[in-house]
Amino acid sequence: MEQRLELFRDPGERPLPTALVEPVRKRGGRPKVPVLLRVRTAEDVESLRSRDVPMFFLSPERVSEAGYPITFEPRLVLPRPMMGQVVTELRVLPVRNPETVRQDRLEALVALMLRVDRLAARALVVRNSAKVNGSELYRMVVNEGLEREATKVRLQDFAKDVPVVGPALPREDIDWALGNNPSRGSP
């Protein structure tokens, strides 16, 4: 069974940017019109986020700002139920929980990076250990079902309650990999 989320706009609601919204069909006699969202750029994502649409633009610049310089193809992060409601040429990363993309927290960024680069996720936690909330990190990891990925890079060192699922990389290998990629700038 596939979950599907349909986006509707009420007539009295603050309008979304017309360049980003495309009506799907008009239902006779109903005040709500289902729409598709067209997302082309990071600015489109920020414009929609400001109107409380759950999406996130995961970019190397955002990760670098958090203290870990990295290069990867940017991704549009969407809740799974919205996958059919957004038209984009950006690479899409689906998530289970819409709250993961609504929040601009370091823990949410770490959970998203577990899907892109596990060592980068660990490096973000290590380099921002004073700012990381262990219980929030646990919640993000478990809500997204990323226990196996978190175990691989030993995130249990920072969020003790994350269940251990599968084998972990040797601590020496993790330390070597992170030690050979020094931070540029301050987190």
φ, ψ of residue 113 to 5 degrees: the values are -70, -25
> How many domains does the structure of the chain reveal?
1
User: Is residue 73 one of the residues assigned to a domain?
Assistant: yes
Cα separations (Å) of 12 from 8, 51, 68?
Answer: 12, 14, 44
| Per-residue confidence in pLDDT tens, the chain, 187 aa | 345 566 666 667 777 777 777 666 655 555 566 778 899 999 999 999 988 889 999 999 999 998 888 889 999 999 998 888 899 999 999 999 888 888 788 999 999 999 999 999 999 999 898 999 999 999 999 999 999 999 999 999 998 889 999 898 888 888 888 887 665 544 3
CB neighbourhood size of 171 (10 A): 10
88 lies in which domain range? Answer: 8-179
CB neighbourhood size of 104 (10 A): 10
User: Is residue 30 one of the residues assigned to a domain?
Assistant: yes
Predicted pLDDT at 39: 92
Could you give the CA distance from residue 155 to residue 139 in angstroms, rounded to a whole number?
13
User: Is residue 1 one of the residues assigned to a domain?
Assistant: no
User: Is residue 3 one of the residues assigned to a domain?
Assistant: no
User: Is residue 114 one of the residues assigned to a domain?
Assistant: yes
